[in-house]
Amino acid sequence: MPPGLTHFFSKSLLLVTLAVPFLFFPVAAWIVLRWAPSKIRMAAFALVNLAFALAVCLSRGTYGVRLHDIKQYFIFSTVMFVVYVLLVSVQYLLLDKKLGSWLPLFFPLLILALVKYVPGRWTQGFVPAPFSNKVFADFFLGLSYMAFRLTYMVHEIRNKIVPLPSFSEYLAFAFFVPTLSIGPINPYSAFHKSLEAPDRTLTPIGRSWGRILIGLTKYIFLGNLANQLTYDGLLADGLPHHWIDFPIAVAGYCAYLYLNFSGFCDIAIGVSGLLGIHVHENFDRPFSKRNLQEFWAHWHMTLTNYMRDMVFVPLSKVLIRRFGPASAPHCIAAAIAIVFVLMGIWHGAGVTFVIYGLWHAVGVVAVHYYTLFLKKRLGKVRYAKYRENRVIYHIANAITLAYFALGLIFVTNSMRGLKMILHAFRPM
């Protein structure tokens, strides 16, 4: 590759990583969806998604790779992407041939477990030396979200919410570029309905542009500024710190995560909306909620919905059936705890993610029992008044936010990072 071109790619990395999925892709996808003959439209749409998904993988992974090694990196990354597509294609075969069995439900999760949770040292020799700082999972962009999208699809097909898609539509959905890397975990039903019977009331053009604009502001500007005051940006710099830096970092990381994640989702939802594809919302003003249960119903909503439909509902049903209706509150509490631990593990490999899950399991179960206690103690009318009290609302909201923000320390820091942070508060 000419040095000028590689220089352009490297120096404009942020621009490229955003422009590929959110500028070039929608233009190409719009042309295909609008102008391609109906016979080949879906196949062409799938090809556009695959081509741009590869471009996203290459551009996002280029960070940290030297110009000298970029050709080798592109070749290796492309080979890994082909493997990724083949594995996702195997899932389609399972859907087609083994829908009734457990296989299609567990195959994506098995791939996720193998790629994401296998220790880095096992795969270190496999990744070429110049980019050995990358782990195996870095070459399977958005695999966590892919696994959940594909298993939810099994759930929807089995429950006859949607028919089995054609292979082209399946690939287009699996590698749908705007939601490929960090979601939202859009159900196949929403994607399918948008293509079958487009409904502009769900995806108004003006709102789509507004979401893109606000998303870019959050993701590029506000998120990056907040990142200067996070654990990574402020505390984990290897230098000693004054204790005041800790609450700053707790609040800073919480703000950063929201701005970065919800900003990206805004862009993804907006760009999909321009194409007429309805993508489910991921955030609904979560910081205004009064307890953790409500918070999780409005934060990373597609993940919460997935866990509700795929784990919580069947699990609590099984538990209640096993222990009887009298034990329902405890069965629900147990199901909540299991859901949050699983959710913690889904976020990443390592002890800290399990602790993160447990942290929220404890919080939400406490809310569950406290709500039951209040309802029993206050009665229906007084409980309603309690809910309407503004002072109680603000106190509850502050406690909820503080609990959530504090818990994030486990999701963003490894054990080494935690030690580094604790070590930072030594005498200067």
Binding residues (CB under 8 A) for another protein: these are 3-4, 7, 10-12, 66-68, 124, 129-130, 132, 202-204, 207-208, 210-211, 213-214, 217, 221-222, 224-226, 228-229, 233-234, 236-242, 244-245, 248, 252, 266, 269, 273, 278, 281, 284-285, 428
For the bound state, the minimum distance from the C-beta of residue 231 to another protein, rounded and expressed in Å, comes to 12
**What's the rounded Cα separation, in Å, for the pair 213 and 88?**
33
Nearest to 267 by CA among 217, 206, 311: 217
Q: Rounded to the nearest 10 degrees, how much is the dihedral formed by the CA atoms of 76, 78, 84, 85?
A: -150
For the bound state, the minimum distance from the C-beta of residue 32 to another protein, rounded and expressed in Å, comes to 23
For the CA atoms of the chain, what is the radius of gyration?
Answer: 23
Pick 242 or 419: Cβ nearer another protein: 242
- Are 339 and 307 within 8 A, CB to CB? yes
Per-residue tokens: 413: 């820091």
- The secondary structure element, H or E, covering residue 379 is helix 351-388
For the bound state, the minimum distance from the C-beta of residue 11 to another protein, rounded and expressed in Å, comes to 3
Pick 146 or 279: Cβ nearer another protein: 279
- Are 240 and 427 within 8 A, CB to CB? yes
Pick 12 or 371: Cβ nearer another protein: 12
For the bound state, the minimum distance from the C-beta of residue 422 to another protein, rounded and expressed in Å, comes to 16
For the bound state, the minimum distance from the C-beta of residue 12 to another protein, rounded and expressed in Å, comes to 8
Pick 12 or 159: Cβ nearer another protein: 12
- Are 306 and 185 within 8 A, CB to CB? yes
Pick 49 or 203: Cβ nearer another protein: 203
Per-residue tokens: 274: 């321009």
Q: Rounded to the nearest 10 degrees, how much is the dihedral formed by the CA atoms of 408, 314, 94, 49?
A: -40
For the bound state, the minimum distance from the C-beta of residue 225 to another protein, rounded and expressed in Å, comes to 6
For the bound state, the minimum distance from the C-beta of residue 9 to another protein, rounded and expressed in Å, comes to 9
Pick 85 or 225: Cβ nearer another protein: 225
- Are 390 and 358 within 8 A, CB to CB? no
**What's the rounded Cα separation, in Å, for the pair 185 and 305?**
9
Pick 244 or 381: Cβ nearer another protein: 244
One-letter identity of residue 34? R
Nearest to 174 by CA among 358, 27, 307, 46: 46
**What's the rounded Cα separation, in Å, for the pair 107 and 87?**
9
Pick 208 or 400: Cβ nearer another protein: 208
Per-residue tokens: 224: 């990056």
For the bound state, the minimum distance from the C-beta of residue 218 to another protein, rounded and expressed in Å, comes to 10
For the bound state, the minimum distance from the C-beta of residue 239 to another protein, rounded and expressed in Å, comes to 6
The residue assigned the tokens 């800290």 is 352
Pick 234 or 337: Cβ nearer another protein: 234
